[in-house]
Structure 1
Amino acid sequence: MPSRTDPNTERIDPQPDEQPGRPVTERPSVMAEPDPAAAADAAGQVTVSRETDAPLARQLRDQAERRRVVAATEVSRPDRPRVLTVANQKGGVGKTTTTVNIAAALAAKGLRVLVVDIDPQGNASTALGIPHHAEVPSIYDVLVEDRSLDSVLQECPDVPGLWCAPATIDLAGAEIELVSLVARESRLARAVQQLMSDRAGEDRFDYVLIDCPPSLGLLTVNAFVAATEVFIPIQCEYYALEGLSQLLRNVDLIRKHLNPALSVSTILLTMYDARTRLSAQVADEVRSHFPDQVLKARIPRSVRISEAPSHAQTVMTYDPTSSGALSYLEAATELARRA
């Protein structure tokens, strides 16, 4: 008959060859208590895992709240069309990317938006999915051939309410051809004013965003003369600050001699990397010098933002759930609310 055993031990019954009355041996049970050190390690692993997941959970909650706020924020049409030149003489700061994504975000809010691409590279036209080969009527025809701006407009296939005046390779020679023309600095301004007078009511554009080349030639001068506001994207790196000071001096020259109504109204921090101290320092310095112009929204470094143009799309349509699309939507909403 089996003997009664302690719960933590297994008693060995006497074998046939064991003599009665001989001491019974005990051995640890297979179900022995776990080693305290192993238990501590296991607990430590769980703690580390939870700590690792916490920042991601906070980030997801933060993004969900930001989406809720921006979706609930309504924007109204401005009293009159706002014409903004998106400019920065330093290349690679996200100027064209900012132009097309802000335009798409404004259109997503129900506003009518026009992008005027005067960069000979035509990157804004590409990002909006607009054909801009040599035979397409373009902004070149407006500046050099006196064609009406309305006659070269094309609607973006992916974003209702967003239109584009494309740039073709012909624009590369426009700098030289404009030199000999009458009123060479104000030809784009005249075309934009004519467009605004032809379109009224629900058919008028609420925002006109002009994408400039990264230089101060006649094309950029035309953009400054045509606009009333300058929109400056600034990359969160040291060299961007040097380019900003030169740009501001040029804006002052344009204001004094060609367009007294021009002002720097908006500055957007782009390519912000929260992992680096430099990005925070540049952001703080820009905000301290331009507290009224810098948008609270800032654009992070994002793979989705970089990938979108290769698919002839803005990030707003390429991946609307990405952090980059959310940031541009916040920036566009803030821009519209400032009107």
Structure 2
Amino acid sequence: MATNSKNAPSAPKLNRPLTITVANEKGGVGKTSINRYLPFVLAERGYKVLVIDADPQANLSKTMGITKKAYAPDEIFIVEKSMMAAVRDGDLAPALVNVVPNLDEVPSDIDFASFSTFLSKKYGLADRTDDDYYEVESKKVRVLKDLIEPIKPNYDFIFIDTPPQPRSDSTRNATMASDYVIIAFQTQSDSLDGAISFINGTLTELHETFGADTDVLGILPNQVSNSGAIDQVVIEDAIRMFGEQNMFKHIIPFAKRIQSAPRGGVTRQGYWNTKLFKDVFDPLADDLIERLEMVGEISDGTN
């Protein structure tokens, strides 16, 4: 079964491979949903895409496994190495698994919960008041970046899914490894607070203390109810805080079909899935490409 959409637009060429983390300090903001669908659409358009599951809950990995099984039911799906095992061995390449054409993943498992322990055992512990704080922490936050660099030239996009814990070692590593972050939030005050906390806390510290070269690509409200008064108030608050020009144009609406992806995988098959892609995720991919053009990551609209 082919993954390419019949009406997929031509894919403008990137000037360089890009790593993107979908970020927020809070859980339940749609990070994993975005990492399920957006890389899938980009892969359909001909981009080489990798998703890295840096969350021990492994929800993204489970969906990718179901997706692969749906598209290749006769193919034996074997995960040779988990994300944590690859980190311990210092090489992500053996953990790569193809999902559908142009889309690979590095799958996670519960063992990734030991990532922080691994970092502490390897590099030590240091408090902010300790003389060796910068030396220790600068090594810790660059682990994922160093692991991605050897495989990055093989892809156009690398997306990283992170756990819902504030200022976790996983989120800090993903952010440090990324060229851009997409700030996702649901239309609830605490979710918007999580977005602000990520920018003012994790992102600012990585910039100012460890020299991160990571920028915010845009603010993406998620699971918005058109009839919800509170939703609209939070959207207006976000516009005032971040500026309308920094908001993605194609806000992700509340849709039960998005929530069903963990059970059925990511697919265009069926009326409601087709409508979901047409109304939500194809326009979101267009919005992403437009933003990359605006920041100079795409020179023109030709291959």
Category of TM-score, reference length = shorter chain: 0.7 to 0.9
Give the counterpart letter for 2:82 in structure 1. Answer: S
Q: Are residues 1:170 and 2:89 paired?
A: no
The answer to whether residue 66 in structure 2 is matched with residue 161 in structure 1 is no
Query: In structure 2, how many angstroms separate the alpha carbons of the residues matched to 1:172 and 1:271?
Result: 28
2:65 match: secondary structure? coil
Q: Quick one: structure 1 residues 292 and 75, their matched pair in 2 at CA, closer, same or farther if it must change by over 3 Å?
A: farther
Look up the match of 2:15: 79
User: Any stretches of 5+ residues in structure 1 without a counterpart?
Assistant: 1-69
Distance 1:243 1:317, change over 3 A: farther
> 2:229 aligned with 1:277, yes or no?
yes
Structure 1 position 190 matched with structure 2 position 118: no
In structure 1, what is the equivalent of residue 30 of structure 2? 94
Residue 181 of structure 1, aligned match among 98, 117, 122: 122
Q: Give the SS at the match of 1:79.
A: coil
Number of the residue aligned with 2:258: 305
**Residue 142 of structure 1, CA deviation:** 2.7
Task: With the length of structure 1 as denominator, give the TM-score of the two structures.
Answer: 0.71
Q: Tell me: higher relative CO, structure 1 or 2? Use CA pairs within 8 A at least 6 residues apart.
A: 2
Note if contact 2:26-2:164 (Cα within 8 Å) is conserved in structure 1.
Answer: yes
- 1:325–1:316: structure 2 CA closer, same or farther, 3 Å change rule? farther
Aligned residue number for residue 214 of structure 1: 164
- Pick the aligned partner of 1:268 from 220, 230, 251: 220
User: Which stretches of structure 1, 4 residues or more, deviate above 6 A after TM superposition?
Assistant: none
Aligned partner of 2:163: which letter? P
User: Separation in 1 of the partners of 2:78 and 2:121?
Assistant: 23
Q: CA deviation at 1:325?
A: 5.5
Instruction: Report the alpha carbon displacement of residue 272 of structure 1 after superposing the two structures with TM.
Output: 0.7
- The CA RMSD over aligned residues, in Å, is 2.3
- Structure 2: which 5+ residue stretches go unaligned? 1-5, 69-76, 124-138, 293-303
CA distance in 2, matches of 1:155, 1:333: 24
The reply to whether residue 106 of structure 1 matches residue 24 of structure 2 is no
Map residues 289-300 of structure 1 onto 2, 5 A cutoff. 289-290=241-242, 291-300=244-253
Cα offsets for 1:89-116 (capped at 9, x unmatched): 1111111011111111111222111100
Structure 1 distance, partners of 2:84, 2:161, is 14
Bigger-Rg structure (1/2): 1
Task: Give the Cα–Cα distance (whole angstroms) in 1 for the partners of residues 269 and 38 of structure 2.
Answer: 12
Identity of aligned residues (%): 27
